[in-house]
Structure 1
Amino acid sequence: MFQAPDYTETVSVRLSEVLADIGVDERIVLKRRRTLLLIESMENSALQLQDNKLTSYFLGSQSEGTTTLGLESDTDCLVCQNDFKIVQDWSDWQPGVLNLLMIQDDTVSPGYCLLQRLRDHAPLPYNDAPIGHFFQDKTGRILLSNTIMSETLTAAADYLTGGVNSGPVYTTFGQPGVTETDFVAAFPCKTWPLQARPWLNQQGAGQRPSDDMKKFCSNTGCFVVGVGSKGSENEELEWRISTSLAERCLMFNLNITQIRCYVLMKMILKSYIKPHYKGTISSFMCKTVLFKLIANTQSSFWREKNLHVCLSFCLFVLYTSTLNENCPHSIIPGNNLMAGHIAYESKPHILEILQNIINSEGTALLGIECDDLGERLRLKFNNLSLFKTIDIVSGHLLRQTAWMIVGSIKVYLCYISNSSYKVDIQILLKYIFKLITISNHCQGLEKTACSLLAPCFCTTLGSVLASLNIQQYNGISAEALYWISLGVNTDVASSKLKLASMFYCIGDYHRTEIVLRDIEGRYDQNIVEPVCQCYDFESQAQKRGFNAISDNNNEAAVQYATASCIIFLLCEINCIPTELQYELFRSTDEDIAFRDFYDCWMDRGVMDSLPYLYFLQYKTYSYLGRLDEKQIAFSNLIRTTEQEPNLGHRETALNILGQCMEQEDRPTDALRYYFLSLNLRQKQCCQIPYM
């Protein structure tokens, strides 16, 4: 069964080719990792703008690059609350903070701990009456209950809105076609857990983990997550020890054959196990099995021509683990991941499924519908193939990056209350200089994250200053033009359209027309994708040109392949055409009463870039007396509003179009577009995706 004859090598090579076609190759794996780590850096840079004491880590398959479009893997985000100091040794106690001692003894399950409160001014046990989420156990220790983590997630809901809180996990439901994000709250511990220290001294036949990997892992410390061991009498007082950053390090050091083996195991679970026995065998168990095999086999075993044999070995170990109902955690082996997960009546059926797959000599793979793997493999053996999806994967990743940029900016613009020009300008300057400070003290993706966020705030600051200038003397200062110039290339259109709006509002139609002509020349509608993060709407498949650009470039492509919606604050009112100013005052008291923090865009003037471009052209050419070009712009506005599939604010474009119809003396058409606008907004949900 585990020999590698010619046919097995052929199966392995063809299988590797099929997996490469759907995006499981070195380049796309690295691209996935870069995207998620960049998003992680943007998230953490943005959190610092409000001096938030949270740190986010994006973990799991998406950040590891061990997924496909068909697997639809969730994005796992660990939200780390930095208020408490978790210590494992009395000598690590620190004055002036709330210290919690991690207790790992016989009273808790392996892989779990208790958190005992220590005194604030001395490294001694806290023994006053417990308050809040602290409780006293039978021995008199004051312990922190894990129920506090539900409140931590609730408190962080400003950043996680649009989801469902389920105990220690908060799930957001992103735009259709985008996977869910599961947020888990945790506390950080700077030191490596005692229960995992034997792992640092182990090394199998495969020389894994290497000394460098173990050194890195031990320096990452660990987290404690508010989940107790099921069935424990102290379930609400126990905390699960998480070594997720160490596990991410181990995953980042896998070769492509090992990654493909893991992806295939997950596809087998999705196709054969989960539809009938959900909640039994998890992808994390498959990962644990993979780690075990890698540690105990020579590195030469894990090569492309041996993929099918590698998979068979993994499935055999998974079968044995299921048979014994014992799957030891790879770093904390005392923690049996399978304990309590496999029901007695399900076990023989799961074993039979695994045995049949192992004995099928690869034919079971032909039944996998995920990513059309079976059909692709069948065609590959006949020297045929389906289209590759690598560029589609790249398109998803670039759009995800653009969503994160736009979403982060939108969130922090919500903190601007429009109390006064002075206050709003100070807030924007604070954001910009904080990002510059962060950038000056970091490198790599953290610096890139700041460089993507800061220019967007510069654009808004320039527009706010211009609005103040127009109010004061109907002109635009050099300072305003300087700030907006720093952000003019954030994407294809939105920042430049703000510049055009500034010129339009002071009646400088010639400069307005020049800027608009430049935008139109850059806006290739076969490539550029609209980007909106104001609310949850059903976005359509990306354009082929966008996917192609995404595949050949990294995050810098957002500058010439995306166009975000334009967000005007109330303090930018003098830079907004009259027709769009009405959007600033559309909310009623009843509407406001049912809103949350993220609905603040309803008090903004917001419109998609492309229809706004044609609207400004229509108005500008009207003032310039260039009637033919005015009619072309008008026709383009109608076509875009009615046909562009990915408009986030179609209702606004319809409203603007209705006003243009009035100006064209077409009241019947104007009324029709107004009704369309009203009915469209009533049908749409106002939940906000996280990213």
Structure 2
Amino acid sequence: MFQQPGYIENVSLRLSEVLADIGVDERIVQKRRRTWLLRESMKTISLQLRDINGTGYYLGSQSEGTTTLGLNSDIDQLLCHNNYMYNVIQDWADWEPGKLNYLMIQDETVSSGYCLLQLLRDDAPLPYNDVLDGDHFRDRTGRILLKNTIMSAAAANVYEGGVRHGPAYAEQGQPGLIDNDIVCALPCKSWPLQAMQWLDQQGVGQWHSDEMKRYCSKTGCFVVGVGSKGSENEELEWRISTSLAERCLMFNLNITQIRCYILMKMILKTFIKPHFGDTVSSFMCKTVLFHCIANTHSNNWRENKLLVCLSLCLSALYNSILNENCPHFIIPGNNLMRGHISHESTPYMLDILQYIINSKGRVLLEIKCDDLGARIQLKLSNLLFEFDIKKSNIISGDLLDITAQSTAVDIQRYLTIITNCSYKEAIQTLLKYIFKLVIISKQCQGLDKTASSLHVIWLCTTLGSILASLNIQQYHALSAEALTWILLDLNTDVACSKLKLAFMLYCIEDSQRTEIVLRDIEANYDLNTVEPVCKCHNFIHQVSRKGFNAICDNYNEEAIKYTIAFCVKFLPCEIYCVPHELRYEMFRSTEEDLAFRGRHDDWMDWAVVDSLPYLYFLQYKNYSNIQRQEDKQRALSNLIRTIDLEPNLGHRETALNLLGQCMEQEGRARDALCCYLSSLNLRERNNAAKFHICRLLSTLVNAH
């Protein structure tokens, strides 16, 4: 049937529909790009606030929008060191006094697409010839060259225990989490000399327009700490990266070109990778796609010609493997396949590709990734009921969760800095951050403005809470200043900021307003749509609620206010805004426990609890205080139900510790002990349950 007249066009259209069903359409591609570019802005702003002179970029499939749920693409980060002391140049005229000037050497001794970095003097535009340190090497001509291993050490410091892959360090092997690759690089403001010719080229497709080329040339380039495979200067060579220019090219693809690229990656995953690993990379497929687009008329890249376009790209990939040459699109002298594919593997790989090309699309029925093959079969048979056809809801939910988690990680970093500060130091630091964010927000537009807004509301809430803690300690009252800061924006999420406000009101014995705030939180916390988010530690998240995904499909990051419940964090300097039952969490670690804490476990010095159990716990306390027994028991039942049934609690052991203390207040010592033992079963070390068990047993013994 694949030979029938018009069938290629028909299958191409059906294939395009299937790809749209799994989230490869213009809307979801743009949604993916917005999410990752926002995360990029948040990363860079986070670095600026902490006085780290760097820029974070998210590159590759995630930020390009060229992935699917089934492909599960890695997160590719590039951390650019914008240290004002470094100045990487290609022209002596760009030398600057007082800086670490490095001249990019791109001569016949260096592999194409790579360079050496020669250290220059900081007082005159002349080569440096003095005493060396361990990061530099004097070559046979007397040049002082920077070793690329300095960047590997920087990446390893970011990801302790990561696995090195070329220039990247990867966090791998954590169930339920996407692999995360980070590359450290140095920026060069000027366009690479080896890519100058590309700016004058114009293929048949008239694809990379003059406007695109002008933009690309202004992005400059990066130098990444990795040498060419097999080079005798492998420790000294630096790869020239035009990542931002390549991202510009990807952002200018049409949907058929994006679908073609995604199909190539699915074919790699299904037919090549199981036998040959990563010898053929998705970047090689991207490069092949670029060449095909540049050398093909643009009217060929239409939905009804998707199979033809795919065949064209696969044939080009076949020729690249056959000739062992895949020229980089922007720096064509750089052969991406050099040293990657063994001579023994080549004929087998070519046979597989030839089989795929000759199948004229039939082979796509064998692809299990995203159920592609089964979906095509059903689409051609007009049988649609077997699948939950649209994946856009799930993707949208995942994307909002990424934004929420990024926010949580950044806020955690800020809080870690002030963990052991005095009241005065913490307040001064938060004010400095807030003023910086306000300045950034006024000076920028778009996603940078959105990113600064997402950060500043959290810092205002924390500042208000710290001021309130100081007020309660000194005067047992709340100052207008503390209330002003916390009331600036209570919509950080569904519950977190309002929960902090509720307990402040409880502390000053305003039970009525406490009840009003807690009722408001409960009314807005829709159990069918709100998802808890915690990034204190990594744990496997269960599938998001359908209601959550449905809302996310219609909104972007603004949906955080209505669908996300962050865990509530209290620093030591907020201790007077923390219920005494929760304060034990600040002292959870014995001397022995400290040895079992990781480098990112500073949160263990805080009191941290998930929003929903904390809501019901505060209701229990408030109703106990005003002696409303029925409401108190309802709150207790809700707390028990939440601990038992909510799948995505990050601090279930803390909720159990709170429940245990409620049981003690109810006179149910046996149930309290069960709660503490269950808590200890979830987290054996660094758990306040140990104190509660000892305290409870001591009380029982003394009572007898």
Alignment TM class, shorter chain as reference? over 0.9
**1:487 CA drift (Å):** 3.3
Q: CA deviation at 1:594?
A: 4.5
The residue aligned with 1:254 is 253
Q: Name 2:318's counterpart in structure 1.
A: 319
Work out whether residues 4 and 306 of structure 1, in 8 Å CA contact, stay in contact via their aligned partners in 2: no
Q: For the residues of structure 2 that align with 1:162 and 1:618, how far apart are their CA atoms?
A: 44
What SS does the aligned partner of 2:118 have?
strand
Equivalent residues in 2 for 1:213-232 (5 A)?
A: 213-232=212-231
Q: TM-score w.r.t. structure 1 length?
A: 0.97
Deviation at 1:683, TM superposition (A): 8.5
Letter in 2 for 1:277: F
1:464 maps onto 2:463 in alignment? no
- Of 89, 106, 131 in structure 2, the residue corresponding to residue 129 of structure 1 is 131
Partner of 1:145: 147
The answer to whether residue 533 in structure 2 is matched with residue 534 in structure 1 is no
Does the 8 Å contact 2:229/2:338 carry over to 1?
no
Per-residue CA deviation, residues 558-587 of structure 1 (Å, 9 max, x unaligned), is 010000000000111111111001101111
Measured on the aligned residues, the alpha-carbon RMSD in Å equals: 1.6
Bigger shift: residues 342-351 or 648-657: 342-351
8 Å Cα contact 2:272/2:349 also seen in 1: yes
Alignment of 1:482-497 (within 5 A): 482-497=484-499
Q: Does 1:634 align with 2:633?
A: no
Q: Give the aligned residue type for 2:215.
A: F
Distance in 1 (alpha carbons) for counterparts of 2:173 and 2:346: 35
Amino acid at match of 1:317: A
Q: Separation in 2 of the partners of 1:96 and 1:486?
A: 45
1:151 Cα shift? 2.1
Measure the CA separation in 2 of the matches of 1:637 and 1:661.
11
Q: Structure 1 residues 484, 164: CA separation in 2 closer, same or farther (over 3 Å shift)?
A: farther
Q: TM-score, normalised by structure 2?
A: 0.95
Q: Does the Cα contact within 8 Å between 1:175 and 1:539 map onto a contact in 2? A: no
The 3 A distance-change label for structure 1 pair 218 and 10 is: same
Q: Provide the C-alpha distance between the structure 2 equivalents of 1:178 and 1:487, rounded to a whole number of angstroms.
A: 32
Q: C-alpha deviations, 1:523-547, integer Å up to 9, x for none? A: 0010000000000111100000000
Q: Which residue of 2 aligns with 1:365?
A: 364
State the Cα deviation string for residues 337-361 of structure 1 (Å, max 9, x = none).
1111111111111101101111111
| 2:594/2:686 contact within 8 Å kept | no
How do 1:170-319 residues align onto structure 2 when only pairs under 5 Å count?
Answer: 170-173=169-172, 176-319=175-318
Higher relative contact order (CA 8 A, sep 6+): 1
Superposition pairs for residues 290-689 of structure 1, below 5 Å?
290-385=289-384, 386-387=387-388, 388-682=390-684
Conserved? CA contact 1:174–1:536, under 8 Å:
no
Alpha-carbon separation, structure 2, partners of 1:636 and 1:542: 21
1:49 Cα offset (Å): 1.1
Alpha-carbon offset, residue 171 of structure 1: 1.5
CA apart distance, 1:180: 1.2
For 1:676, the aligned partner's letter is: S
Partner of 2:697: none
| Cα displacement (A) at 1:50 | 1.2
Q: Secondary structure at the match of 2:338?
A: coil
SS at match of 1:276: helix
Gaps of 5+ in 1: 686-691
Tell me, in whole angstroms, the C-alpha distance in 2 between the residues paired with 1:175 and 1:486.
Answer: 38
Give the deviation of 1:592 after TM superposition.
Answer: 2.6
TM-superposed deviation, 1:174: 8.8
Could you tell me which runs of 5 or more consecutive residues in structure 2 were left unpaired when the two chains were aligned.
688-704
CA distance in 1, matches of 2:521, 2:393: 26
1:177 CA displacement: 3.1
Q: Per the alignment, in what secondary structure is the counterpart of residue 114 of structure 1?
A: strand
Partner residue of 1:688?
Answer: none
Do the aligned partners of 1:529 and 1:562 also contact (CA within 8 Å) in 2? yes
Q: Is the 8 A contact 1:537 1:684 kept in 2?
A: no
Say if 2:47 is the partner of 1:66: no
Structure-to-structure mapping, 1:69-108, within 5 angstroms: 69-83=69-83, 84-108=86-110
Instruction: Find the aligned partners of 1:391 and 1:4 in 2 and give their Cα distance.
Output: 36
Structure 1 window deviating more from structure 2 (106-115 vs 439-448): it is: 439-448
C-alpha spacing 1:683/1:547, structure 2 compared with 1 (3 Å): farther
Amino acid of the structure 2 residue aligned with 1:138: R
Any idea what the Cα deviations from partners look like across 1:187-237, whole Å, max 9, x if unmatched?
000000000010000011111210010000000000000000111111100
The Cα shift of 1:298 comes to 1.1
**SS in structure 2 opposite 1:115?**
strand
2: CA distance between counterparts of 1:165 and 1:668? 51
Give the letter for the 1:40 counterpart.
E
What is the aligned residue count?
681
Once the two structures are overlaid, the 10-residue window that deviates more, 414-423 or 568-577, is 414-423
Q: Shift of residue 161 of structure 1?
A: 5.8
State which drifts further: 164-173 or 113-122: 164-173
Q: Shift in Å at residue 589 of structure 1?
A: 2.4
Q: Distance in 2 between matches of 1:133 and 1:42?
A: 32
How big is the shift at 1:596? Answer: 4.1
Q: 2 CA distance for matches of 1:431 and 1:171?
A: 30
Bigger mean CA deviation after superposition, 322-331 or 379-388? 379-388
Judge conservation of contact 2:593–2:686 (CA < 8 Å) in 1.
no
Query: Is residue 174–residue 181 contact of structure 1 (8 Å, CA) maintained in 2?
Result: no
